Structure 1
Amino acid sequence: MTDKILHIVGGGMAGSEAAWQAAKMGVDVVLHEMRPKVETFAHRTGDFAEMVCSNSFRSDDDEQNAVGLLHWEMRAADGLIMTTADRHKLPAGGALAVDRDPFAADVTAQLMALPNVSVEYGEITELPNESNWIFATGPLTSPALGEAIQAETGADALAFFDAIAPIVYADSIDMDVVWAQSRYDKGETEEERKAYLNCPMTRDQYEGFIDALLTADKTEFHEGETAGYFDGCLPIEVMAERGRETLRFGPMKPVGLTNAHKPDEKPYAVVQLRRDNALGTLFNIVGFQTKMKYGAQAAVFKSIPGLENANFARLGGIHRNTFMNSPTLLDHQLRLKSRPNLRFAGQVTGVEGYVESAAMGLIAGRMAAAEILGRELPVVPQDTAMGALIHHITGGAEAKTFQPMNVNFGLFQPVDGLKGGRRGRKDRYKAYTDRAKADWTAWLAHFD
């Protein structure tokens, strides 16, 4: 192997983006993917960038939302994941949701079409001593590779658990009970304003649903496993255990919605479903990640008004996610301090979410390619969404309590001259995004 080749392990969001960015800079890339030879709990295909937990990239507001700003930065950098998501966008109010199967097929086709990208299928189980590598194996890092990383770093492997929400066939939903409406009628078009389906519950129905959740058979963890969860992806049963009203103030909140069938009746709680494909034949139950066993899921979810006859294209489930203690292990270029020829990207670094994972792939790919080409690049500006994430995972976070993190404005340095507090939040967020866009544009100019 020559030192001029970049090897990338993992064809998920981060690995796909890293391969795209490096190849576009003129570097030869070998993308290593263990699927479909080695299957995982969550994946169904061998396509790159397959979406498993959700089909949403969350808010697309690039002036008032940190993940929307991250969308903007990735688009400005010709990001593969974002530009492909835009081509396969589904109506979702103010969010960016995509038709997951065509999206993954498109990402795969674009990477395979690049003349300087080749693919090797098979599992990588060791950390190489030579050449340039990016490990973007994601939350489902194989046990053998996880052990190799642990042996190299000398640290205990950290992990949390992610849950997946079920998907329902649209033609099995009772539209005499359910109505189409985005919360607060968000969306510029009528289609976007009706991007969600809503299942109303009375108080008695809600209380019965909570009882069923609490008593349902659930997946048990293996002996010795500690069941820590990422707060942004909690199973609904865990939320219910925190208090009977938790779900009603969370994914089942009834605000901003009017029952089209009974406009004078205010639902006590509402279950929302979001379109999962362009045909409108599949809907996922929003916020309903679950660790219930399959038989229990079908019974509990069919107690939801409008879903009594639901057929499921996929039931939910739970899986273990692996991530590193990046503040102690990685430098500002996402290199392993003990082995600088190895970079890490994606969720394994301790960022959470599709967009954040792809963003770390974008940075790792560009940094690795620049190093191979002998080009020096300045540090990613901390006042950008990219830079705020990198700073957090490579030293900004407290190592002893490090946990997976979504991008958020709490990671940003304060803007001079703006007061904090609720009154100034809108202006403060706009100042964050204006500053970030200017700094990101200036950083990208180094690649021209």
Structure 2
Amino acid sequence: MTQELHIVGGGMAGSEAAWQAANMGVQVVLHEMRPKVKTFAHQTGNLGEMVCSNSFRSDDSEQNAVGLLHWEMVQADGLIMRTAHEHRLPAGGALAVDREAFAEKITATLTAHPNVRISHEEVVDLPDDGHWIFATGPLTSAGLGEAIQKETGADRLAFFDAIAPIVYAESIDMSVAWRQSRYDKGETEAEQKAYINCPMDRDQYEAFIDALLAADKTEFHEGETAGYFDGCLPIEVMAERGRETLRHGPMKPVGLTNPHNPEQKAYAVVQLRRDNALGTLYNIVGFQTKMKYGAQAYVFKMIPGLHEASFARLGGIHRNTFLNSPTLLDNQMRLRSKPNIRFAGQVTGVEGYVESSAMGLLAGRMAASEILGRDLPEVPQDTAHGALIHHITGGAEAKTFQPMNVNFGLFRPLDGMRGGRRGRRDRYKGYTDRAKEAWSQWLTLQGLDEAAAE
């Protein structure tokens, strides 16, 4: 049996898994079918390409669960987080990146690693031997999807995911729009003005909702009955749930003051976030959509400040696939029926770039430890990584399993903490303090183990 580790999928999870395993001294073959085989959502053949948003969400490691996950990955020398910080863009309290520069750096780093070899041949089978990690993400190819379905003996679970449009900055009318982060959040002026805001009065908002509901939308093929992931709903679906839904979601007007008309409070605000280092591209925040291209151009140009907008990319919708991991994977992320195979990333039922990367980090370390004959300490459940892996490999209810972002609801309760608004801040700080201590100890144990092995 070969001692190489084969990783299928060069997205966030696969790239992170390759980095972690290669740094432990394992020879890695990273299989990425792009650009030879294209997907609906990807534009390049680069590793780590971001296809939906360019944001890794909050970077606050004391009051936010995803920020804690950032911190844990940085401490573990995570490639994704390190590269994200190198290519970050002003985005208030969020960690947003120049997506092209980010992917190019991930690709260059792994290509240059002496323990990594990259193959662009498509993998469509589940091998019976060798060491494998499948991190093919939500856009698993049809051939491989069929092989997974055949092996698991169950229908693939699926949900539909959507992509937001990207606008050329020069086409935004700044005599109408203005730059400001919500509540002026950020330590620098660039952070405090990281977003472009387009205000709507009530009549404009109502007309926008009418057009949104009436627009031509992409219809699903016969037999496609999957639902949506609540964290990435198309704006039309949100609007269908109630006319005020968007105004209390991505279009909420709070924390913003229009310098063109400071005395008048906007009824709703559309925000755009910088998408590249040059500041030439902006994505419309929270505006994932399934509208057809012609309808998108018409409806989005109704937004004040975007009446002459030029789009670098329009939105779209695609089908995502994921495993029923609580029934199919063990606590080492191995497929129970084929323990030589691990799964990582979104295909395991975590949602988001950060969560996918984190599962890649764990899968890479687990597989490398197995190949090297080392015992990997159990991932502490009180860490963000531990809370996620516990959820997907046994903590979640299998009958209702759905993709999950990291959140403090996945964490074990703290002793002596009560609820309430003030208590919540104390509780979140308690979660993060406990997690950081446990994660640091886990990494230290691995360092000692690796030193002893050498």
What's the TM-score bracket when you normalise by the shorter of the two chains?
Answer: over 0.9
Paired AA for residue 338 in structure 2: R
Distance 2:386 2:39 in 1: 31
Which residue of structure 2 aligns with residue 147 of structure 1?
Answer: 146
Which residue of structure 2 aligns with residue 365 of structure 1?
Answer: 364
For 2:139, what is the secondary structure of its paired residue? coil
Distance 1:3 1:350 in 2: 29
Paired AA for residue 192 in structure 2: R
* Pairing 1:237–2:236 present: yes
Paired AA for residue 214 in structure 1: L
Cα distance, 1:3 vs structure 2: 2.4
Paired AA for residue 443 in structure 1: W
Which residue of structure 2 aligns with residue 305 of structure 1?
Answer: 304
Q: Is the 8 A contact 2:55 2:96 kept in 1?
A: yes
For 2:31, what is the secondary structure of its paired residue? strand
Distance 1:72 1:389 in 2: 15
Which residue of structure 1 aligns with residue 170 of structure 2?
Answer: 171
Q: Is the 8 A contact 2:79 2:106 kept in 1?
A: yes
For 1:332, what is the secondary structure of its paired residue? coil
* Pairing 1:24–2:28 present: no
Paired AA for residue 60 in structure 2: D
For 1:21, what is the secondary structure of its paired residue? helix
Q: Number of aligned residue pairs: give it.
A: 447
Distance 2:414 2:37 in 1: 48
Cα distance, 1:207 vs structure 2: 0.1
For 1:371, what is the secondary structure of its paired residue? helix
Which residue of structure 2 aligns with residue 65 of structure 1?
Answer: 64
Paired AA for residue 249 in structure 1: H
For 2:137, what is the secondary structure of its paired residue? coil
- Superposed CA deviations along residues 403-446 of structure 1, whole A, max 9, x for unmatched, are 00000000000011111233300000000000000000111112
1:50-199 correspondence to structure 2 within 5 Å: 50-199=49-198
Cα distance, 1:116 vs structure 2: 1.1
Distance 2:245 2:226 in 1: 20
- Superposed CA deviations along residues 130-187 of structure 1, whole A, max 9, x for unmatched, are 1000000000000110111111111110000110000000000000000000000000
For 1:410, what is the secondary structure of its paired residue? helix
Q: Is the 8 A contact 2:59 2:67 kept in 1?
A: yes
* Pairing 1:375–2:374 present: yes
Return 413-422 or 154-163, whichever deviates more: 413-422
- Superposed CA deviations along residues 231-290 of structure 1, whole A, max 9, x for unmatched, are 000000000000000000000000000001000010000000000001100000000000
For 1:407, what is the secondary structure of its paired residue? coil
Paired AA for residue 130 in structure 1: D
Which residue of structure 1 aligns with residue 4 of structure 2?
Answer: 5
* Pairing 1:285–2:284 present: yes
* Structure 2 unmatched runs, 5+: 448-454
Distance 1:328 1:364 in 2: 18
Q: Is the 8 A contact 1:196 1:275 kept in 2?
A: yes
Distance 2:239 2:119 in 1: 44
For 1:130, what is the secondary structure of its paired residue? coil
Paired AA for residue 392 in structure 1: H
For 1:423, what is the secondary structure of its paired residue? helix
For 1:198, what is the secondary structure of its paired residue? strand
Distance 1:244 1:420 in 2: 32
Distance 1:413 1:355 in 2: 21
- What RMSD over aligned residues (CA atoms) do the two structures have, in Å? 0.6
Which residue of structure 2 aligns with residue 417 of structure 1?
Answer: 416
Cα distance, 1:377 vs structure 2: 1.3
Which residue of structure 2 aligns with residue 445 of structure 1?
Answer: 444
Distance 2:226 2:234 in 1: 11
* Pairing 1:427–2:426 present: yes
Distance 1:205 1:414 in 2: 45
Paired AA for residue 376 in structure 2: L
Paired AA for residue 126 in structure 1: D
Q: Is the 8 A contact 1:221 1:227 kept in 2?
A: no
Which residue of structure 2 aligns with residue 268 of structure 1?
Answer: 267
* Pairing 1:36–2:39 present: no
1:220-259 correspondence to structure 2 within 5 Å: 220-259=219-258
* Pairing 1:351–2:344 present: no
Paired AA for residue 113 in structure 1: A
Distance 2:407 2:2 in 1: 37
Distance 1:422 1:97 in 2: 29
- Superposed CA deviations along residues 315-349 of structure 1, whole A, max 9, x for unmatched, are 00000000000000001110011111000000000
Paired AA for residue 276 in structure 1: D
For 2:127, what is the secondary structure of its paired residue? coil
Q: Is the 8 A contact 1:16 1:48 kept in 2?
A: yes
Q: Is the 8 A contact 2:250 2:270 kept in 1?
A: yes
Paired AA for residue 439 in structure 2: W
Q: Is the 8 A contact 2:239 2:246 kept in 1?
A: yes
Paired AA for residue 422 in structure 2: R
1:332-351 correspondence to structure 2 within 5 Å: 332-351=331-350
Q: Is the 8 A contact 2:92 2:194 kept in 1?
A: yes
Distance 1:260 1:279 in 2: 24
Which residue of structure 2 aligns with residue 395 of structure 1?
Answer: 394
* Structure 1 unmatched runs, 5+: none
* Pairing 1:201–2:162 present: no
Which residue of structure 1 aligns with residue 212 of structure 2?
Answer: 213
What is the percent sequence identity of the aligned residues? 80
Q: Is the 8 A contact 2:377 2:446 kept in 1?
A: no
- Superposed CA deviations along residues 84-111 of structure 1, whole A, max 9, x for unmatched, are 0000000000000000000000000000
